[in-house]
Amino acid sequence: MKRLMLLAPCAALFACSGSAVSLQPGQWETTVQFTSIEMPGAPEQLVAPMRAAMSAPQTRSECMTPEQAANPAGRMMNPGGPANSCQYTENTFAGGTIRVHGTCQQPGRGSMQMNMDGSYTATTMTARVTSEMHAPPGTPGPQAIRMSGTLAGRRTGDCPATH
């Protein structure tokens, strides 16, 4: 579940294609930092180490192909692969505005509601992200994890050549 929490907001980075302002393909560096992590009903000795680990900036770098830059929806619609089923109440990535609000069902892992609101240019993006994950029914321990934080992304250059 911890890995999912790190990857979901990064996957949310690539929401839905739009017009006017387009993302430039190339190498992108994305940093997510959570400023609030809550686990209702969990003892503080369980929550404190998670807060310490998750509040550190999580940075990743990946190549965005021209196809992905032209239609970032492919990345958002299935953040964990084809096994996820996501429904969106809003999915905007157009004209410099990012607004993505949706819920994904994750077989064996429960559900996740995510929201991302921000802005972007061809080579940068910033957003406020929130997510709430719910464990599958009958799972022992905390049943929900709520997180909020920020996402910042920037194009760092061309993708490395592959051999």
Q: Give, in order, the Cα–Cα distances in Å from 124 to each of 4, 24, 28, 29.
A: 24, 9, 9, 10
In a domain, 22, yes or no: no
In a domain, 23, yes or no: no
- pLDDT at residue 12, as a whole number: 40
SS3 8: helix
Domains contained in the chain, number: 1
Which long-range contacts does 159-162 make (Cβ < 8 Å, 24+ apart)?
159/25, 159/26, 159/27, 159/63, 159/64, 159/65, 160/27, 160/63
* 67: containing domain: 2-17+28-154
- Provide the whole-model pTM: 0.75
H/E stretch holding 10 reads helix 2-12
In a domain, 106, yes or no: yes
In a domain, 161, yes or no: no
In a domain, 59, yes or no: yes
What's the pLDDT tens digit per position in 34-75? 999 999 988 889 889 988 888 899 999 999 999 888 766 546
In a domain, 163, yes or no: no
